[in-house]
Amino acid sequence: MKQFTTLSVIAVFISMFLISCGSTPSTPEGVAEEFMMRVSKGDKSAIDLMAPEVVAMFGKEKIEQGLADQADKFAKKGGISSIEFTDKKIEANEAKFKTKINFGDGSSDNDKIDLIKKEGKWLVTVSK
């Protein structure tokens, strides 16, 4: 009985861990950071954090190739060590940030990222 209880407790903790790892952040900054981290790892699921209209506009294959190219670029710079968000503009269902991406080799890139809120979820989009 004790062994069954121990196994049950372990199963619950593993389930909670897997659920928390698979969840998408709920803030625009969190989604933007998660998107960039997935891209840096070459994780194709980064496309799941993009607005469907963007995927339809460019095509899934073209976006996946662009994400893979970006992952290679990040890898050559030692991966992402940190991300800073500046000039935050969050209004209702739109968010715009300037970013400073710091890399493992000591270099950094400045960029911007736009998000839109659809059906309660923040998604990466392109500027209008």
CA–CA gap between residue 111 and residue 95 (Å, rounded): 14
Tens digit of pLDDT for each residue in 12-55?
A: 344 343 334 456 688 999 999 999 999 999 999 999 999 999 99
Whole-prediction pTM: 0.78
The dihedral built from the CA positions of residue 47, 126, 32 and 77, taken in this order, carries a sign that is positive
Q: Is 10 helix (H, G, I), strand (E, B) or coil?
A: helix
Going by the DSSP 8-state scheme, the letter that residue 32 receives in this structure is H
Going by the DSSP 8-state scheme, the letter that residue 71 receives in this structure is H
CA–CA gap between residue 118 and residue 104 (Å, rounded): 34
Q: What is the mean pLDDT of the chain?
A: 85
CA–CA gap between residue 99 and residue 108 (Å, rounded): 10
